[in-house]
Amino acid sequence: QAGESSKPKGRKGKSSKKKAKTVVKEVDILSPPAMLNAYYICHNAPAFLELRGFPWPGSPKKKGKKGK
């Protein structure tokens, strides 16, 4: 009985997985962690506003990298 254990190694049968409910909470874009993130990402005020979803009219479109 040295190599045998009393507990089965694998589960047999149907496993019941509970679906986790995703709770969407309102995010404050002016909170200190968000402002610190924006400080390191954005270079100026228009870039900050565009990142937050407030583009100004007539803004130049960002040119992405073209794949070969």
Residue type, 38: A
Record the tokens describing residue 38, joined without a space.
Answer: 């924006």
Predicted pLDDT of residue 46: 85
Instruction: Specify the pTM.
Output: 0.42
Predicted pLDDT of residue 68: 58
Instruction: List the beta strands (DSSP E) in 1-68.
Output: none
Q: Give the residue extent of every domain in the chain.
A: 27-54
pLDDT tens digits, the chain, 68 residues: what are they?
666 566 666 666 666 666 777 887 887 878 899 889 888 988 888 888 888 888 888 777 766 666 65
H-only helix segments in the chain = 32-41, 45-51
CB 58 within 8 A of CB 50: no
